[in-house]
Structure 1
């Protein structure tokens, strides 16, 4: 195996693993090295469509962005196992980019030995083809109830003999206890793989941390190699949760966009570029009051369209959307949101659920057993109303959906016909203010942003370089080079 493996572990979820792994990918890529990211198992409804050995498939969004930071072509082997939660106790299992019904039905602990050969094969292939593989762990490596069935943290580290960094969120408090406790719960052979501790999201005078780093070094033999200041506006999409107004760019608000944040929201990270547009405020709406004053209402993707539609009605948000549309306000539905804007949901295969939509578009969606997973480039036809700027724009995005949507026949008989502005993918109502589209990732396309906002926003390349610059400023000199130095 040619590649050296650097692994980022965390004391908790949300400690900063994805952020740090992305920065490392760009740092090493800027050295002229062949770099690839890897995460054995990711649990997220934020996914991207990438190349696979036979067909296109899904990986977690974090590994997609890490591959771009590494200047590598995204591929399914970078995240061989993806778990997409459908309910509190059930997830759809995606193995090497493709949905696996058998694994989805298998008990959690029972599937680890089945998938482990696929994980090692994917990792070893990346090691053969690259100089550095940056591996991201999941949650904490010291979850002692899961250690015996681990396939994403220290079992991966041992297989790759990875040089590991353990990162903690010091803003939560208890950071040194988190670092020491995590280290102490690991077996001795796994402790030996921990090469450095990283304090993330620090606010204040770093000198006040003394003597804790030295005391921790005396207890563990592991140095604190970096103290990363709090940074709200780094521009990297959030992986696990919605972002709040703390990360909103300063300046006068000219446009407020409210995104409905239902329980099974998917691909929420595609809205990150909107936060970077000058004058735009992004709001996560969970109540009708959250929609008040919004210029746009966005119905995002959903991993469970029927269940999230029921939640929408229980909150009274269906009325808020209808009132907004009746006033001529702009409404955008993406994927599951598009399906909800239609009149009817038909499920003959037990995929999602039957029901009535909001009826703002005269459409009918039928859920098929086969899942559409593909990268898509398509051109908008002529649009009217607030979406007219998209007319003629060619956009790049991706599709992940079971539903297939068509004009509702009974509504067509009553002359209520949707304007199909992209064949099979996007429809607009007669008045022009409601638009539904199956393509995710529209706001990641600079052409779409320029058309809608007339603004140039920071590109992902700018974001990746900024992450690497920040990391290089706040990590002890020589540490990053030492991690990949072959003994």
Structure 2
């Protein structure tokens, strides 16, 4: 069969586009089709390194997993990572192309971006039977229609029919459906073949009169109503979703994660929430650090600015004091903050230049402008500091960082077997001393034995019984959630229109 494209767009951000694409990838891959996800342009600080050592958004990684294939940079050819002053780092085919503001991107780079999008779409079409495309935001942003690179322009480019998803949980679902369709011109509107109402919590019978009326008004069928299932545990793409996750779990072991203003790759902390007696607490300005058993400083899109946030809100002094009693662990930008200083003479990271770090590890980080490390990585734990009991353990992760870190009188956390770590040449990664440790490896807590060792340290310090190295609930829950998501869609959505699109000539 020739390749077929179906596109999922939304009436707004967070309507459920990403998860519906994942569900469709799972459903049709299980039916024997070769399926691949695609998002032409994504804006996200939650990213991942593929096997090609290229950077893409985590949503496409989940969708590729649902399709049963390895993620590739062709599934997300353009990634925008917001920085400061209304600029974003522009990632093209998984590699940085520069920092640009909106005007620079649209006037000077749009054609380059569109070329990359075409190349990746053609690449996928040559290799897969079905391409399930995810839109961005809403197609009804009429002030930007002539600059669109994510919604209807891509639907026409791919010759894709569109399913429109609307979020009923936020209210005004019928107005959002009707308004979106009304604002589209005839050519764009002709692409929309059905509507899906997402995140429904109520009685479907009460909703039915509204569904019948909206179908009369718009002439577009409602293909299904998807229930809100809180049991699903899937990675989030948007940091705005963290507002719903400020407190997770009721375990005796309490881990505080600093919610930095420019937090990135926050999926690094997801596995900790699956430790049965661990409660993860996101710490914001005004919150107390009292009662925590460990502190994690996660990745950030701007290390220096977020370090100033910790300092301005009194967290820096508190973290230093608490490090005498409890573990403090930094990941990527969080690791850089733990050192003595951050050298940024070229103002690469921010306009603040060079600053003092938290001075918890004897190391310094320098932003040299030599480029960004993007790598799948593997290392062997050295046994330094907190991790003396797990020396020799192999861990995997991925690196997405600028800047190099030079250690003083402190031992590295691990010896790098694949990837780069602290410098641009393979050697050592991270550092560990006493209660404090850090790494450039994103995904380090996805390594079950490393995670269980760390949480067992916390259990032991509280006088709790340690857990055995069995039952990785995180991986099991992720697989279950993808399968359950597909089941929910199959049970509550009429797939016949999509089947006709796929099977048609």
TM-score scaled by length of structure 1: 0.92
How many Å apart are 1:388 and its aligned residue? 4.5
1:428 aligns with 2:426: no
Whole-angstrom distance in 1 between the partners of 2:374 and 2:347: 19
1:356 aligns with 2:372: no
Whole-angstrom distance in 1 between the partners of 2:412 and 2:246: 36
1:465 aligns with 2:483: yes
1:59: which partner in 2? 56
Q: What secondary structure sits across from 2:142 in the alignment? A: coil
Q: Is the 8 A contact 2:383 2:389 kept in 1?
A: no
1:121: which partner in 2? 119
Whole-angstrom distance in 2 between the partners of 1:389 and 1:278: 22
- Unaligned runs of at least 5 residues, structure 1: 409-416
How many Å apart are 1:368 and its aligned residue? 2.2
- Unaligned runs of at least 5 residues, structure 2: 416-427, 456-468
The Cα offsets for residues 270-313 of structure 1, whole Å up to 9 and x where unpaired, read as 22222232122221111363422221110001111111111111
Q: Is the 8 A contact 2:247 2:281 kept in 1?
A: no
Whole-angstrom distance in 1 between the partners of 2:244 and 2:97: 38
1:411: which partner in 2? none
Q: Is the 8 A contact 1:42 1:82 kept in 2?
A: yes
The match for 2:321 among 320, 323, 327 is 323
1:438: which partner in 2? 440
Q: Is the 8 A contact 2:340 2:360 kept in 1?
A: yes
Q: How does 1:13-162 map to 2 (within 5 A)?
A: 13-52=13-52, 56-101=53-98, 107-110=104-107, 111-162=109-160
| Closer, same or farther: CA 237–253 of 1 in aligned 2, 3 Å | same
| Closer, same or farther: CA 154–367 of 1 in aligned 2, 3 Å | same
1:243 aligns with 2:242: yes
Q: What secondary structure sits across from 1:406 in the alignment? A: strand
Q: What secondary structure sits across from 2:360 in the alignment? A: coil
Whole-angstrom distance in 1 between the partners of 2:154 and 2:389: 48
Whole-angstrom distance in 1 between the partners of 2:244 and 2:294: 17
1:418: which partner in 2? 410
| Closer, same or farther: CA 461–480 of 1 in aligned 2, 3 Å | farther
Q: Is the 8 A contact 2:234 2:481 kept in 1?
A: yes
1:482 aligns with 2:477: no
Moved more, 67-76 or 448-457: 448-457
Q: How does 1:180-219 map to 2 (within 5 A)?
A: 180-219=178-217
Q: How does 1:182-331 map to 2 (within 5 A)?
A: 182-241=180-239, 242-244=241-243, 252-287=250-285, 289-326=287-324, 328-331=325-328
Whole-angstrom distance in 1 between the partners of 2:188 and 2:242: 34
How many Å apart are 1:348 and its aligned residue? 3.4
Q: What secondary structure sits across from 2:329 in the alignment? A: strand
Q: Is the 8 A contact 1:266 1:302 kept in 2?
A: yes
Q: Is the 8 A contact 2:379 2:414 kept in 1?
A: yes
1:414: which partner in 2? none
Aligned pair count reads: 471
Whole-angstrom distance in 2 between the partners of 1:31 and 1:316: 55
Whole-angstrom distance in 2 between the partners of 1:486 and 1:189: 21
Q: Is the 8 A contact 2:413 2:437 kept in 1?
A: no
Whole-angstrom distance in 2 between the partners of 1:149 and 1:244: 31
1:379: which partner in 2? 380
The Cα offsets for residues 125-181 of structure 1, whole Å up to 9 and x where unpaired, read as 101110111111000011001100101100000111212111111011000110111
Whole-angstrom distance in 1 between the partners of 2:3 and 2:14: 27
How many Å apart are 1:70 and its aligned residue? 1.1
Moved more, 36-45 or 231-240: 231-240
How many Å apart are 1:226 and its aligned residue? 1.5
Whole-angstrom distance in 2 between the partners of 1:253 and 1:291: 16
How many Å apart are 1:86 and its aligned residue? 0.7
Q: What secondary structure sits across from 2:347 in the alignment? A: coil
The RMSD of aligned alpha carbons is 2.0
Whole-angstrom distance in 2 between the partners of 1:105 and 1:194: 28
